[in-house]
Amino acid sequence: MLAALVLPLIFNEAFYQHIMISAVINIILAVSLGIIVGYIGELSLGHAAFYGIGAYTSALLMVKLGLPFAAAFPLAIAAAGFMGFIIGIPALRLSGHYFAIATLGFQGIVVLLIINLVDLTRGPMGLPGIPSPGTFDFFGLNISFGDKLAFYYLAFAVMIVILILVRNLLRYKFGEAFIATREDPLLASSIGVQPRDCRMTAFVISTALAGAAGSLYAHYTMFISPDSFSLGESIYLVTMVIIGGRGTIVGPLVGAMILTALPEVLRFAGDLQFVIYGLMLMLVVIFFPKGIVGLVDQFKQRSASLES
């Protein structure tokens, strides 16, 4: 954590600070999606839609109604979570490929609504003029979140709060109930767990956290468009979770950091970088189904067995 606090001061160029802010937002998204993919065992292809709902809700509340960021941010979380609840009612009756297709359909609906509600969202032209979170008075010192360094610390603080909440949620009763539901819903029911309620709880929490990431993204970039919340973004997020490692909090975090930095490393490859992403995903799924974190755990177990 100390390194994460110091890095933007050491690498103080705007480019590096942009990468760090993007990484923080992607970590929030990947960890939130990891609840669905890793803990209830479903593949969601519509996570970017909830990301977009959070972004547009927060942006429109500030642009159209003049609300402060302190009010727009929680309302964006609530809007994404509420839509998660509404979509979850029919979608969570399904599982496996059918659930993935249902979330894929919702993804397409949200993007089409953003494009066609031109009077509200400006459609494919995008929504410009989104204000920054404003300023904060810290013992007489005015901190402007329009500055990349200040925004990084704001996003980092939100990320830490979310990681603590998710860790505490999954470490105890809820996490055990989610895993029991994922492994054997009938057996979970026999010990008093309600699979449908567990799945809905996980889905709503996951989508609400995606809304938090969307709000941060909108007020950081100050411009959003449908392209930022397309199916490609949903697949990108799924890739983070799978490469990092499902069923953990650290896995999506690691996957998000790697796949945020990787495009800059592979910039020379142009469009071939998408081929490289696909190849990486295929290799991980075939040879390391538990992701990078699972691979590290295997090395630790082998080392421990050799020492003993």
- pLDDT tens digits for 239-292? 899 888 888 888 899 999 988 988 777 776 666 776 777 787 788 778 777 788
Alpha-carbon distances of 263 from 217, 238, 275, rounded to whole Å: 18, 16, 12
pTM of the model: 0.91
- pLDDT tens digits for 74-85? 999 999 999 999
Ramachandran class of 247: left when φ > 0, alpha when ψ lies in -120 to 50, beta otherwise: left
- Return the residue matching tokens 């329009």: 146
pLDDT at 138: 60
3-state secondary structure 38-96: HHCCCCCCCHHHHHHHHHHHHHHHHHCCCCCHHHHHHHHHHHHHHHHHHHHHHHCCCCC
| Domains of the chain in sequence order | 2-307 (1.10.3470)
Closest CA to 47 of 26, 61, 62: 26
Closest CA to 234 of 194, 267, 271, 207: 207
pLDDT at 237: 92
Higher-pLDDT residue of 105, 304: 105
pLDDT at 50 over 90: yes
pLDDT at 176: 76
d(CA 21, CA 148): 8
pLDDT at 136: 73
Higher-pLDDT residue of 254, 171: 254
Does residue 110 sit in helix, strand or coil? helix
pLDDT at 191 over 80: no
Please compute the mean of the pLDDT values over residues 1-25 and round it to a whole number: 86
pLDDT at 306: 62
d(CA 156, CA 136): 16
Please compute the mean of the pLDDT values over residues 193-208 and round it to a whole number: 89
Alpha-carbon distances of 308 from 296, 299, 303, 305, rounded to whole Å: 18, 14, 9, 5
